[in-house]
């Protein structure tokens, strides 16, 4: 099992524009600092989302900028796009190929390329795309073409959603033939699709490890039969998203978790991401989910929805993801209202006492797989 950090730039609305701008800057810098902390304490991946127009939920709109900055502040951690939008109105395909290669170079091979088609009508309609079916068709057409652009030689294309005359797309990637590819997955169909394509699954489905198990099994069955990956090699990986509160004092961990603002954050998920199926009982915005009680926190920990407690208790939570078949857990460390220094303490405690018991290989899984397949 490997471990990552999910960075989204979650920010609460302030009383005036000046306070809002100050908090926005502080939170973006906090995301960098927790990435630096993760690099030092054993986390292997740092995933930055790309969202547009989603107030409070996520203020990271140009993740290639912050990823480049973090590359210069870190040494070992891999830097991932979780995800970059493939639709041409949002990101022209040639620009995507250029940015993948540039980040691959400045990080000296530490970039992980996560892709998707967007998760909110607020976003894709803001770029003039009419509906989600159009984003699917665009993403399906664009991904193989971006991979073609990364190959040696010149490139041209005349397609349905974009065209370009013959050009040399530069630079070519540092990692040959290209960085590891991941795809955002939330339904059985997308897990199967990712497996058939031979790309990693960034699991953004909600639920306990036991509920994720069938989705992971669907992926693993499909990827086992993948003998013609869309890229130059198979990235056999499933990364699941969770939350982490790890302290020497388990009661303190659960208290911090209960007061982290998770009810409000989850309400923002359902406010903005209309591709996410809203479970029964979730209120309609502006009504929000209540904050969890201590008993609800304990229940969430038992189910594995939340990894919280002492290092030993957190290890039990991690084991549930291992048993479900996941290869990586990505923790949204700052997707809450907990101060940076407390989040850093949690990450440091987890890194010192839990990570070494699960991740015993210093080489990243994606690197190992590429080297084993390509030599």
- Percent helix / strand / coil, the chain, rounded to 5: 45, 15, 40
What are phi and psi for residue 312, nearest 5 degrees? -65, -40
Q: How is residue 20 written in tokens? A: 């809002």
What element of type H or E holds 182? strand 181-185
Residue 114 to residue 363: CA distance in whole angstroms: 19
Does the reported pTM lie above 0.95?
yes
Provide the b/e sequence for 1-35 (b: ≥16 CB within 10 Å): bbbbbbbbbbbeeeeeeeeeeebeeebbebbbbbb
Helical spans, DSSP H, in the chain: 17-41, 63-73, 93-106, 121-126, 132-149, 188-197, 209-224, 250-258, 262-272, 294-303, 311-324, 340-353, 355-358, 365-374
Residue range 311-322, pLDDT digits in tens? 999 999 999 999
Residue 370 to residue 368: CA distance in whole angstroms: 6
Residue 317 to residue 3: CA distance in whole angstroms: 13
Q: Where are the domains of the chain?
A: 2-374
* CATH topology (fold) of 2-374: TIM Barrel (3.20.20)
Q: What is the pLDDT along the chain (375 residues), one digit of tens a residue?
A: 999 999 999 999 999 999 999 999 999 999 999 999 999 999 999 999 999 999 999 999 999 999 999 999 999 999 999 999 999 999 999 999 999 999 999 999 999 999 999 989 999 999 999 999 999 999 999 999 999 999 999 999 999 999 999 999 999 999 999 999 999 999 999 999 999 999 999 999 888 999 999 999 999 999 999 999 999 999 999 999 999 999 999 999 999 999 999 999 999 999 999 988 888 889 999 999 999 998 999 999 999 999 999 999 999 999 999 999 999 999 999 999 999 999 999 999 999 999 999 999 999 999 999 999 998
Residue 130 to residue 142: CA distance in whole angstroms: 18
pLDDT on residue 36 = 98
Q: How is residue 180 written in tokens? A: 């590891």
pLDDT on residue 276 = 85
């Amino acid at each position: 099992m490997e471990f990552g950090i999910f960075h989204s730039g979650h920010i609460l609305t302030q009383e005036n524009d000046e306070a809002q701008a100050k908090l926005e800057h502080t939170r973006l810098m906090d995301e960098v600092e927790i990435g630096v902390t993760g690099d030092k304490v054993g986390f292997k991946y740092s995933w930055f989302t790309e969202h547009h127009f989603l107030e409070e939920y996520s203020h990271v709109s140009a993740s290639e900028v912050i990823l480049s900055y973090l590359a210069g502040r870190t040494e070992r951690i891999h830097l991932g796009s979780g995800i970059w939008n493939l639709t041409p109105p949002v990101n022209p395909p040639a620009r995507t190929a250029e940015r993948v290669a540039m980040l691959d170079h400045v990080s000296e091979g530490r970039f992980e390329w996560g892709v998707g088609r967007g998760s909110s009508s607020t976003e894709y309609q803001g770029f003039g795309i009419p509906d989600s079916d159009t984003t699917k068709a665009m993403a399906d057409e664009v991904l193989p073409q971006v991979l073609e652009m990364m190959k040696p030689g010149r490139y041209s294309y005349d397609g349905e959603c974009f065209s370009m005359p013959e050009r040399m797309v530069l630079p070519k990637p540092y990692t040959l033939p290209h960085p590891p590819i991941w795809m955002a997955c939330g339904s059985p169909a997308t897990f199967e699709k990712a497996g058939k394509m031979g790309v990693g699954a960034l699991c953004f489905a909600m639920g306990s490890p036991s509920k994720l198990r069938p989705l992971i099994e669907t992926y693993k069955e499909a990827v086992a039969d993948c003998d013609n990956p869309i890229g130059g090699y198979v990235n056999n990986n499933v990364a699941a998203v969770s939350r982490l509160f790890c302290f020497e004092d388990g009661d303190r961990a659960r208290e911090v978790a209960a007061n982290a603002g998770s009810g409000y954050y989850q309400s923002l998920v359902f406010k903005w991401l209309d591709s996410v199926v809203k479970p029964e009982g979730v209120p309609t915005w502006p009504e929000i989910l209540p904050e969890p009680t201590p008993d609800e926190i304990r229940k969430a920990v038992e189910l594995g929805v939340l990894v919280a407690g002492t290092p030993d208790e957190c290890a039990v939570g991690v084991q549930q993801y291992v048993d479900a078949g996941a290869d990586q857990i990505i923790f949204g460390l700052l997707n809450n209202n907990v101060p940076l220094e407390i989040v850093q303490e949690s990450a440091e405690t987890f890194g010192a006492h839990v990570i070494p018991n699960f991740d015993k290989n210093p080489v990243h899984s994606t690197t190992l797989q590429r080297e084993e397949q390509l030599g």
